[in-house]
Homo-oligomer: A and B are copies of this chain.
Amino acid sequence: MNFITILGMSAAVCTTASFLPQALKTIRTRNTAGVSLYMYALFAFGTLLWFVYGILSKNIPIVAANGITLVFSLIILVYKIRYK
């Protein structure tokens, strides 16, 4: 595995994992006043499109990364709608 591939995989792990601390914080505090509804509505929709794109183009890393991110972003979106 070359440097560029390792770099891309590291990038994917960071951007995918980054939504976990936000989801945990939102679940714990239920403080969503500063969280943008439009961001998470648009982001969750975009992640769903990436997920379908990954399935249709048979790209397992895209399916996996966006499947995980979709779950985290939907949790944040549901809390934003429920506790706004």
Contacts and interface: CB of A to CB of B under 8 A. Distances in A.
Interface of A: 3-4, 7-8, 10-22, 24-26, 29, 31-36, 38-40, 42-43, 45-47, 49-50, 52-53, 56-57
B38 A35 contact: no
A14 B49 contact: yes
Copies in the complex: 2
A21 B3 CA distance: 34
7 contacts: A15-B42, A15-B46, A18-B39, A19-B39, A22-B39, A25-B34, A32-B34
Contact of A18 (B15, B17, B42): B42
A49 B19 contact: no
A15 B22 CA distance: 16
